[in-house]
Amino acid sequence: MTESNKTITVLGAGYVGLTTAALLAHAGFTVYVLEPNPLRLNVIKEGKSFFFEDGIDILISTAIENGTLIPTDSYTESVPKSSIVFSCVGTPDNPDGSTNLTYVFSAATSALECMQQGAIFAQKSTVPVGTGTRIETLFAESDKNIAYVSNPEFLREGTAVYDTLYFDRVVAGGKDHTSVEAILAVYKSLESHRETIATLASINTHERTGTYIATSLNSAELIKVTANAFLALKISFANSIAKLSDAVGADINEVMDAVGADERIGRKFLNAGRGFGGGCFPKDVSGLIASGLEYGVQMEIMTAAQDVNYSMPGYVAEKLIRGLHTDIRGSHVAVLGLSFKAGTSDVRKSPGIAIANLLSKSGAIVSVYDPQSNSEAAEHLDRNINIVESMEAATKDTAAVVIATEWEEFLGCDLASLKEAMDGSLFVDAVNRFDTKELEKHGFSYQGVGR
């Protein structure tokens, strides 16, 4: 391997980019991570991540010290030295639900200007099927012979380091077989370093062999959105059955435990509750619907999944309002959990925030608390909502509490003290994680989603 073959540039230092860069910097590569936002770049230069993610800070700080991770905002400092450029820039959604590809194309155009002859451009950003072909056309206008490979990412926020080290599969798709194999080889190198990296990041190690899958370009692009859409579909399916469970007096957890015990179905992603949020599922579902429309294919099944998901925060708020047995206007309620799931400070499309805003609009006096995302949530919350610094402050003298994110701090809380602090007894478990009997023993009136 030449020095250039061991040098990589990662464009964009979001969850995917920074995790990928930090890990590859411990797997035998010199990695430039390019971040145009000066505030974020400065945090990374100090050896930290600007978002909360288990295990990542130590990987960043040690790699910067070793000189294998170089944060920069300059294409010309990084890209010309690299044989591979991974693009991990943001793909927000447009108001019509389609994917906004502005950053994807500007990153590809800027990289093209300074990429070395014969380099590989690997796309990790989630893009609609057909995007790679458009970028290939752009690359064909230069004489640099750049190979384009789609290399979709499957890591989850909150377990990003673990997921990248102990992947189920790595997918790479493109026309040039050698370039596809070169991308897969990067992950093989990561796999060969993973025990050392996991130990450094204090992540549990595992005996696990992931699969390497080489595909065509369009298949790779479609694999990514299909995987996310299917998981979102499972959740909305579980939430539909949860509504029926509520109507007939069944327990959705019992139902899904038994249904998921069938290996053909599997138990994962069948947890009913306040619905899915985050920067991926809502966007990828609407992106897939928009892609379908572009090619004349109706994705009714995904529209249904989307509709169910939109309904869930309102369904939870309704449960609280009905369970109060008093006027919601002027009642004190607490919403615990503002990130879209535990283990992350990310609040994009967060169901907890949606529930808090709905309750506030209904006239409730709402207090909210999240162990990691209070400040990130602030700009998305109704002006009247009180953001407080502890679970105790949020729940003091409230008539009801909603658990909207499955943080350990909430799941393991002292129920007796909570009941004591509250004025009322309504406990809305929007993540379906509490033991109903245990809560009732402490004098709570329990409301789950489908329980």
As a whole number of Å, the CA-based R_g of the chain is 23
Tell me the closest approach of the beta carbon of residue 329 to ligand UGA, in angstroms: 29
Q: Which residues have a Cβ under 8 Å from the Cβ of 193 and sit 6 or more positions away? A: 26, 27, 28
Mark 271-290 with x for binding to ligand UGA (rule: CB under 6 A) and - for no binding: x-x-xxxx-xx---------
Binding region for ligand UGA (CB under 6 A) out of 87-95, 143-151, 268-276, 292-300: 268-276
Footprint on residues 12-51 left by ligand UGA (CB under 6 A)? none
Tell me the closest approach of the beta carbon of residue 247 to ligand UGA, in angstroms: 20
Q: Per CB under 6 A, does 126 bind ligand UGA?
A: yes
Give, in order, the Cα–Cα distances in Å from 77 to each of 72, 115, 122. 8, 11, 19
Q: Per CB under 6 A, does 429 bind ligand UGA?
A: no
- Helix (H), strand (E) at residue 69: strand 69-72
What is the set of active-site residues?
A: 280
How many binding residues for ligand UGA (CB under 6 A)? 21
- Cβ proximity to ligand UGA: between 278 and 450 the closer is 278
CB contact at 8 A, 122 and 86 = yes
- Cβ proximity to ligand UGA: between 307 and 440 the closer is 307
Residue closest to 255 by CA, chosen among 244, 264, 263: 244
Q: Tell me the C-alpha distance between 350 and 278, whole Å.
A: 6
Choosing from 26, 194, 319, 341, the residue that interacts with ligand UGA (CB under 6 A) is 341
| CA atoms lying within 13 Å on the CB side of residue 314 | 5
Binding region for ligand UGA (CB under 6 A) out of 18-26, 61-69, 71-79, 269-277: 269-277
What's the full length of the chain, in residues?
Answer: 451
Tell me the closest approach of the beta carbon of residue 142 to ligand UGA, in angstroms: 30
Q: Tell me the C-alpha distance between 353 and 402, whole Å.
A: 11
Q: Per CB under 6 A, does 153 bind ligand UGA?
A: yes
CB contact at 8 A, 429 and 403 = yes
Binding region for ligand UGA (CB under 6 A) out of 22-30, 242-250, 263-271, 375-383: 263-271
Give residues in contact with ligand UGA (CB under 6 A).
126, 153-157, 228, 231, 235, 269-271, 273, 275-278, 280-281, 340-341
